[in-house]
Structure 1
Amino acid sequence: MAESINDVKHRIASTRNTRQITTAMQMVSTAKLNRIQKHTSNYEEYVSRVKAVVMHLAQSHLLDKINSSSNASDHKSGKTAYLVITSDRGMVGSYNSNVIRETNNFIEEHTPNPDDYMILAVGGNGADFYKNRNVNVAYEYRGVSDIPTFAEVREIVKTANSMFEDGVFDKLYVCYTHFVNRISSTFRAEKMLPMDSEAFEEESSKDIKAHDFSAEYEIEPDESAVLKVVLPQYAQSLVFGAILDAKTSEHSSSSTAMQSASDNASDLISRLELQYNRARQAAITTEITEIVGGQEALKH
């Protein structure tokens, strides 16, 4: 019985140590979430305005004119690329499994043939998942900062554009988790390449404000020169915004997971303490019974 009590006592101490760790990790994740939310809120207005401008360009068919005169329209590879944003680390709850599952559903719906698509992985979990299943991972980027910088995104966008221009794939979708609030998130798959009118049909139905821009433009020096500046900014803003959004969801999921782990540890400690007290009480009762029995035996 004494050994059993010691085992329970050891489990209580071990669980308390675990709770201290998960509580500390929750505080760190919450601090990261608060920091990145400040960056995200400031960036959302810029992204919204860039998207509104490019959407109006699409409505004016300027994008289609440029695409029809560019080499991008001559791509005939027939392949689609999916830029999947996951985390590099674990202990983020169901964050990674959700985005991978939803991405797989999206892929199954649009390109069910494995030979027709490839993965561009941002984050180690997504890269490892698809590589372990012999899916074509054409590009991977690991080590995205907790608070991503614009410089990190340039390399990703540059690589994706180069692969598109070289005809490696015809279409590129950005798949990530959109942060709604601290307890809710949704999956998004946004078309990034090619940038034509079709790519903005779904965007126009989302919660993007068009602002007070006119669809008619007076362009100097010409349409091509303007779009050469606007489109790269749009591509970078789309990917950077998606990574910021995904990282926000990651930190939120991590904070929630660690809070849940801490709560579970507290529940386990309560049950173990009850078990410990009962075992200790039983041991004391046994000792008293033995003492009383010994005294009675001495009387005879």
Structure 2
Amino acid sequence: MAGGTERILRGRIKAMQSTKKITRAMELIAGSRIVKAQQRVQAAVPYSEQITEVVKDLAAAGASNDVPMLAGRDEVKTTCYVAITADRGLCGGYNAGVQRATEGEVKADVLAGKDYTIVPVGKKAEGYFRFRDYQLSQSFMGFSDQPSYEDARRIGEYVVDLFVTGKVDKVELVYTRFITAGNQEVVLRPLVPLSADTVAGGDGKAGSSDGSGGDYEFEPDPTEILDSLLPRYVEARIYAALLNAAASEHAFRQRAMKSATDNAEELIGSLSIVMNRARQASITSEIMEIVGGAAALDGGDATQGYVDMGDDYFGRRLDEAEKASSGSTA
């Protein structure tokens, strides 16, 4: 019985050692990818800032009155939520945070009597909301850990078309913003229509004579420029959200895999102690059987011979147990 228990424990220890190697490797990979993802986030900032300034200048020139993407609806009846999650699991509560935030907004809309639709980005979002029978639009997946601008362009074209055609009255992004390697937060950001605060403050109004702003001339008409530029602006914002989400995913996965590695080490130590106790119990049982059999035999010489044999066997097995214990501890 004890021998069978020892074999089972030895198998569990071997399995946990293999698991520990996998989780440790995943932790190191995620740690190396965090740096690259963070660099991509920072590299995208200048473009986002510059296109925002251009949009402000065009809006200040009087182009914001006739552009559909800047004119909000009088009544918001349908909201589109772009939920950005990962394509894979093993990243702690990363996916669950975005899913809960989106679900909370949807439930609030339903209670208010409003309609909604969800654009899932990532396999985890698509599977979660489809399993729960939420209203879904087109899904986008397969690029969560390394998004490209082309991925953002496809998402941007789709959500802009939803808004322009009147299928939705508002589009919002739900994603995890990367702050530091140890700090990320789930945020809800309006995407379309652009808010008044976004396009306010531009210095592109022509004919300013106080010197505080620029004297710009736009060719072609500012409205036409802004109408073609706003989809690029939406794509830039989606791309920035995808990059933040990718960096956050790697940070969550690194922490999750470190915790899994630590737990595997702790479990290996606990199982080793239990296995050594089972091995010592097996040795003690064998020694007691030998001594008991020797004592049951008649004849002094024969009894003494079996006792000596039992003493020798006891000494050998005790040495083996001590070596095994010292080897497991090391």
Q: 1:102 is matched by which residue type in structure 2?
A: A
Do the aligned residues in 2 keep the contact of 1:192 with 1:199 (CA within 8 Å)? no
Residues of 2 paired with 1:67 and 1:196: CA distance?
A: 13
Residues of 2 paired with 1:133 and 1:114: CA distance?
A: 20
SS of residue paired to 1:66: coil
SS of residue paired to 1:147: coil
Residues of 2 paired with 1:242 and 1:250: CA distance?
A: 12
Query: Quick check: 172-181 or 20-29, which moved more?
Result: 20-29
Structure 2 equivalent of residue 265 of structure 1 = 264
What are the residue-to-residue correspondences of 1:275-290 with 2, within 5 Å? Answer: 275-290=274-289
RMSD over equivalenced CA pairs, Å: 2.7
Structure-2 change in CA distance of 1:5 and 1:74 (3 Å) = closer
Structure 2 equivalent of residue 67 of structure 1 = 67
Instruction: Please state how far the C-alpha of 1:131 moved relative to its aligned partner.
Output: 1.6
Structure 1 equivalent of residue 248 of structure 2 = 249
Residues of 1 paired with 2:161 and 2:260: CA distance?
A: 44
Q: 1:272 is matched by which residue type in structure 2?
A: L
Structure-2 change in CA distance of 1:63 and 1:260 (3 Å) = farther
Residues of 2 paired with 1:44 and 1:225: CA distance?
A: 26
**1:239 has 2:204 as partner:** no
Structure-2 change in CA distance of 1:157 and 1:97 (3 Å) = same
Q: 2:190 is matched by which residue type in structure 1?
A: K
Do the aligned residues in 1 keep the contact of 2:65 with 2:71 (CA within 8 Å)? no
What are the residue-to-residue correspondences of 1:62-101 with 2, within 5 Å? Answer: 62=62, 64-67=64-67, 78-101=77-100
Residues of 1 paired with 2:164 and 2:132: CA distance?
A: 28
Structure 1 equivalent of residue 148 of structure 2 = 149
Structure-2 change in CA distance of 1:100 and 1:114 (3 Å) = farther
Instruction: Please state how far the C-alpha of 1:92 moved relative to its aligned partner.
Output: 1.5
Instruction: Please state how far the C-alpha of 1:75 moved relative to its aligned partner.
Output: 8.3
Query: Quick check: 182-191 or 3-12, which moved more?
Result: 182-191
Instruction: Please state how far the C-alpha of 1:107 moved relative to its aligned partner.
Output: 3.4
Task: Tell me which of the two structures has the higher relative contact order, counting C-alpha pairs closer than 8 angstroms and 6 or more residues apart.
Answer: 1
Structure-2 change in CA distance of 1:189 and 1:219 (3 Å) = farther
Structure-2 change in CA distance of 1:122 and 1:44 (3 Å) = same
Structure 2 equivalent of residue 48 of structure 1 = 49
Query: Quick check: 127-136 or 43-52, which moved more?
Result: 43-52
Instruction: Please state how far the C-alpha of 1:286 moved relative to its aligned partner.
Output: 2.0
Deviations 1:71-107 (A, max 9, x none): 9657877211011101111111111111111222233
**1:11 has 2:12 as partner:** yes
Deviations 1:42-98 (A, max 9, x none): 11232234335545766x484642337x89657877211011101111111111111
Do the aligned residues in 2 keep the contact of 1:2 with 1:283 (CA within 8 Å)? yes
Q: 1:93 is matched by which residue type in structure 2?
A: G
Structure-2 change in CA distance of 1:289 and 1:4 (3 Å) = same
Instruction: Please state how far the C-alpha of 1:115 moved relative to its aligned partner.
Output: 5.3
Structure 1 equivalent of residue 218 of structure 2 = 220
Structure-2 change in CA distance of 1:102 and 1:184 (3 Å) = same
Q: 1:271 is matched by which residue type in structure 2?
A: S
Name structure 1 gaps, 5 residues minimum.
202-213
Query: Quick check: 120-129 or 110-119, which moved more?
Result: 110-119
In our comparison, the structure showing a higher alpha carbon Rg is 2
What are the residue-to-residue correspondences of 1:202-217 with 2, within 5 Å? Answer: none
Residues of 1 paired with 2:187 and 2:276: CA distance?
A: 51
Do the aligned residues in 1 keep the contact of 2:163 with 2:169 (CA within 8 Å)? yes
Structure 2 equivalent of residue 122 of structure 1 = 121
Structure 2 equivalent of residue 172 of structure 1 = 171
Structure 1 equivalent of residue 101 of structure 2 = 102
Instruction: Please state how far the C-alpha of 1:223 moved relative to its aligned partner.
Output: 2.0
Name structure 2 gaps, 5 residues minimum.
201-211, 304-330
Query: Equivalent pairs: percent with the same residue?
Result: 30
Structure 1 equivalent of residue 323 of structure 2 = none
**1:37 has 2:38 as partner:** yes
Structure-2 change in CA distance of 1:256 and 1:29 (3 Å) = same
**TM-score after normalising by structure 1:** 0.85
Do the aligned residues in 2 keep the contact of 1:64 with 1:196 (CA within 8 Å)? no
